[in-house]
């Protein structure tokens, strides 16, 4: 499977469930927003975060691994294969799935190890 490490460093932000979606998040080139009954979560490049606004619950310093290409809905086990390989090597992930593909966020201090263990498991990384 072809993978790509996105250049940006990401943050994962938690807001109360009724919070308005922050406009600054919508101005990011890449972002994910999820609302549930428990929370509103925003994932975006860290450079998008406002400096003039206090954000209480945030996890910084994530790198993002993208599964390259469009994944057909009939495919099974892709995310599981990646997550299991990383979990067996004690690497935590934060997963995001879109209509087209999957993304795995890994803490920056683990990204080199993540790349090595995924390559050793038969995956390859684009150099772009």
pLDDT reading at 36 higher than 80:
yes
Structure-block tokens of residue 127: 């150099």
| Global confidence as pTM | 0.90
Distances (CA, A) of 95 to 24, 51, 52: 22, 26, 29
CATH of the domain at 15: 3.30.2130.10
pLDDT reading at 17 higher than 80:
yes
Number of domains in the chain: 1
What is the residue range of 16's domain?
2-125
Read off the pLDDT of residues 86-117 as tens digits, 9 standing for 90 and up: 999 999 999 999 998 999 999 999 999 999 99
Distances (CA, A) of 67 to 36, 71, 122: 25, 9, 14
């Amino acid at each position: 499977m072809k993978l790509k490490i996105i250049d940006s460093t990401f943050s994962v932000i938690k807001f109360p469930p009724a919070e308005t979606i922050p406009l600054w998040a919508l101005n990011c080139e890449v972002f994910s927003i999820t609302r549930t009954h428990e929370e509103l979560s925003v994932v975006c490049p860290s450079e998008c975060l406002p400096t003039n606004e206090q954000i209480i619950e945030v996890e910084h310093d994530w790198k993002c691994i993208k599964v390259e290409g469009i994944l057909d809905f009939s495919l099974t086990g892709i995310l599981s294969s990646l997550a299991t390989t990383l979990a067996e090597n004690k690497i935590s992930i934060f997963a995001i799935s879109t209509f087209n593909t999957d993304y795995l966020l890994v803490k920056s201090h683990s990204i080199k190890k993540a790349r090595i263990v995924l390559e050793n498991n038969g995956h390859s990384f684009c150099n772009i």
